[in-house]
Amino acid sequence: MANYTAADIKALRERTGAGMLDVKKALDEANGDLDKAVDILRVKGLKGVTKREGRAASEGLVLASIQEVDGGQAGTLIELNSETDFVAKNEKFVALAEQVLAAVVAAGAATIEEALAADLGGKPVSEVVNENAGVLGEKIVLRRVARVEAPVVTEYLHKTNKDLPAQVGVLVGTDAAAGEVSRDVAMHIAAYSPTFLTREDVPAETVANERRVAEETAKGEGKPEAALPKIVDGRMNGFFKENVLVDQAFAKDPKTTVGKVVANTGGALVAFARFRVGA
């Protein structure tokens, strides 16, 4: 006869987030001892990490945090992925994301390598993530980390599904003057997903390739040779307006650009980061 009750099963599921069958097996093996059952689930989960490595983790959430630092503020944005949206909204997964974010912030991590090595309760974040993957029974990945420093840093988190955690996260750094429009700019970034802050930030090889494609496309359309330079320039402007933040038509007033909206404050944009789960 099983040496545990339905209440024990419920308690272990709440502690670990593991499935019913896994919980029962762990309690059987632990002879009803909840603490031992937790350890059994962790060990079995870690053994399954390798098996899960090839599986896709395209669901999850984004979280952000802003701290005061010398000279202004620093914002940290993370994307933690799971395999299913069921786990993405699990309280254990959300709590893990909050713990990971806190560890990344404390370490001042700005790269994924630094974030995975950050200390979380005496262990590196990577190890804690793997342990939780074992308990939850899914591949869990800390996919991306961004850090933005500026006089003013603003965050914006957006839910694409009301039943799930935030799926789109933005950090935007400005000087003090532009801080008055930073929230609107952050919301714009979430919606329009720019790749670069200014034209100068676009790598030269990217510009050269876009120009080559524009020219070859125009030639393929039979455009006159004499008209090619003007056509290519026009298409390059279109590329910049689509991908460069300051050149994009402003979401709240498409008759102007983000750059002009910021310039009207007398301020300037410093940097931004945008994550969309799985993208």
**Both tokens of residue 152?**
């003013």
Query: Which residue is associated with the tokens 């965050």?
Result: 155
Output b/e per residue, 171-182; b: 16+ Cβ within 10 A.
bbbbbeebbebb
Q: What are the C-alpha distances in Å from 279 to residues 76, 113, 275? A: 19, 20, 8
Which comes out higher in pLDDT, residue 178 or 132?
A: 178
Domain ranges of the chain: 6-47, 59-199+246-276, 203-243
φ, ψ of residue 23 to 5 degrees: the values are -65, -45
Residue 247 DSSP SS3: helix
Q: What are the C-alpha distances in Å from 200 to residues 142, 148, 204? A: 30, 19, 9
Say yes or no: do domains 6-47 and 59-199+246-276 share a fold.
no
141-150 and 72-82 strand pairing: antiparallel
- Options 1.20.950, 1.10.10, 1.10.286, 3.40.50; CATH for 203-243 is 1.10.286
Task: Give the fold, CATH level 3, of 59-199+246-276.
Answer: Tetrahydropterin Synthase; Chain A (3.30.479)
pTM of the model: 0.79
Q: What is the mean pLDDT of residues 35-53?
A: 62
Q: Sign of the C-alpha dihedral, residues 41, 47, 51, 57?
A: positive
pLDDT of residue 11: 82
Q: Sign of the C-alpha dihedral, residues 158, 161, 163, 167?
A: negative
**Max avg pLDDT among 30-39, 115-124, 135-144:** 115-124
pLDDT of residue 57: 67
Measured CA to CA, the distance from residue 8 to residue 55 in angstroms comes to 31
Query: Which residue is associated with the tokens 């914006």?
Result: 156
Measured CA to CA, the distance from residue 44 to residue 47 in angstroms comes to 5
Which of 54-58, 101-105, 121-125, 175-179 comes out lowest in average pLDDT? 54-58
pLDDT in tens, 66-121: 999 998 999 999 999 998 888 899 999 999 999 999 999 999 999 999 999 999 99
Measured CA to CA, the distance from residue 38 to residue 26 in angstroms comes to 8
Give the CATH superfamily of 6-47.
Ubiquitin-associated (UBA) domain (1.10.8.10)
